[in-house]
Amino acid sequence: MEHVYKAISKKLLSEKSDLFSLFEVRIKYLYGYALGTGYEKYPLEFSELCDEIIWLEREIILESIAHIEDFEKIKPDDIIQYYSFISTELAKQHFNDKKPSLLASLLGEALEKLLNVENLISEEAKEAYEGETSDIFMDFKFANGSSEYTSLKMAPIIMPIKEDQAEQEEPEKKEKKE
């Protein structure tokens, strides 16, 4: 998979960049499970999975670079914060384009496995992040198309869009009545 991490990183940063090797670590840490499992279980969709990661990382590139050095000393419970951000981005994308996200499905699996590894994340941390992980799983399920529901953190994102859609539908309904 190392060549895949490098290929994805090349699509996002120049190899000459000082951050390139750190970016490879980021890709491996955040998406390693998804890429490995995707390659085994979904070989026909693997290219689409890589494209989805590239799209997502382009969307959040400034956030990624701002925290790139964190991956040198990242702790397993830090992944919850990153997956929270990623799940929101994937849920927003699904809300806009209605296309199910394979990446969301695989990252949900990865987080579930991470949380179930004994002694990797302390029980106190699991309890402290219980609400957050619940939101993450809910948004991953929404993004992969297996649920119609999103977390409450999506409300400020969805409500203005729904209000705009309702306002646009209002004149159309009036025209149909006339």
Structure confidence at residue 101 (pLDDT): 94
Residue 68 has pLDDT above 80, yes or no: no
pTM: 0.81
CA distance 16 to 124: 41
Give the residue-averaged pLDDT of 117-132: 84
The beta-carbon contacts of 167-174 under 8 Å, at least 24 apart in sequence, are none
Give the residue-averaged pLDDT of 114-124: 83
Structure confidence at residue 21 (pLDDT): 87
What is the residue extent of each domain of the chain? 1-74, 77-178
The more confident residue out of 18 and 7 is 7
Ranking 42-56, 57-71, 100-114, 122-136 by mean pLDDT, the lowest is: 57-71
The residue among 57, 54, 63, 40 whose CA lies nearest residue 109 is 40
The residue among 82, 66, 97, 65 whose CA lies nearest residue 30 is 82
